[in-house]
Amino acid sequence: MTSDPDIALIFERQGAARTLLAAPIIGARTHPEEFALVAAHSDWLIQRFGRVLGYRLDVGTDHARLAKAGLVRGVTRPPARASGAVFSPRSYAFLALTLAVLVEAPPSVALPDLAAEVRAAAAEAGLGLDPEGSTAERHAFAAALRRLTEWGAVRPVADPASGPAANGGAEVPHTRLEVDSAIARSVVANPPHSESDAGAFLGAAHDVEPADPGAAELALRRLLAETPVVYRADLSPAMRDHLARHQWRAAAELGGLLGCEAEIRAEGVALIMPDDPDRSGRAAVPRTPVFPGADPVSQAALALVGRLVERLGPRAPRADSVPVPGELLERELTAVTDPAGAASRRWARAAVGHDPDPEHLSGRVLTLLAEARLLDRVPAADGAPGEWTLAAAAARYGPRAADPGEEAGANDEPARPNEHPR
């Protein structure tokens, strides 16, 4: 029988692994407790990530970087601004330009000097970008700096030699940045190779379905670990067959690394992650969205998917999706995002004194449900955005818990409400 200290050690290691999977850059300065846990179990984590997922983990004196491989298509999530809007091409450009400057920057740099270096780097690259130019450019540059601050590549500090600087109409009290060039170099974990054109560059980044059985099993584990729900219908015949033959072994390997359970049903497979304790009073580790969550967007999304399942079915998991009429979706979205609505009042009590704009909230709710693989948007024949469909996994959030015996291949026990599919 495993002793209590051994169980605690396993839980610590698995918690550190979940943190790294969700936030591949952990800094000692930005998140000291998380980094201390990763550093304490670095040998185990390096070995397990390499064996189970084929990921490279580098643990330095002040940061850890999990370098992922494969699964470019379909699972890559773009960085987002504080508002929840994903990075625009302009924000990406400023992020890349700023990184190019930071890898050779001194340990401390004034913000105006950094902006001048970024402007010069943009001109050298043939880009007409100025971090102190238009409002859109200033906001994009600020978004890039905010993300670099979350990673620990820079840290704003007060500069007593100068006053507050204007940034997009807001007063910013910090005008000097401390630079961690080691983290800046680690942000791009797999430096891109030169290609003849943009199409060739993007094509080289996409995965090629492996023919080797060992590589196919590794790809399967990555897919399960990085995708909220893996639907069998979305897989190629070869990968669908591989999933059917190796799903339990893959689930066991991932469970040993991440401490998760696998919900295996006829329509697909989802990993159920345990809740990590909330450590209040400290900056949160930037993570991929977990559903359901406690924030207003997650709660509105949970309410919406429950209402759609109640009105459209299925009441039990099934192997196909259900079209969502546009009028019904609009009506239910209004019901869960209107601050005056009953559905909104349920989660508004838990919100931190802020009512998001309903129109903006609606877009974020649909984006979250699409990322969670509970809603899907089928493109129209002309390439325009098509109708939304309710995916099979949405049934688990309906008004009645599904009987796990209703589908072939179901688990003996459904996931508990406090567990989150990723």
**What is the reported pLDDT for 129?**
93
**What is the reported pLDDT for 351?**
43
d(CA 261, CA 190): 30
Q: What are residue 421's phi and psi, to 5 degrees?
A: -70, 140
**pLDDT lower than 70: segments of the chain:** 1-5, 71-76, 84, 159-174, 205-208, 275-290, 314-320, 339-359, 381-385, 400-422
Residue with tokens 């799903």: 247
Nearest to 315 by CA among 413, 398, 407, 410: 398
> What is the reported pTM?
0.78
Helix (H) or strand (E) holding 376: strand 375-377
**What is the reported pLDDT for 59?**
95
Q: What one-letter code names the amino acid at 184?
A: A
Local structure of 110: helix, strand or coil: strand
**What is the reported pLDDT for 172?**
43
The Cα diameter of the chain in Å comes to 70
What token pair was written down for 310? 């109640």
Phi-psi region of 81 (alpha: psi -120 to 50; beta: other; left: phi over 0): beta
**What is the reported pLDDT for 399?**
74
**What is the reported pLDDT for 282?**
44
The answer to whether 382 touches 315, Cβ cutoff 8 Å, is no
Q: What one-letter code names the amino acid at 280?
A: S
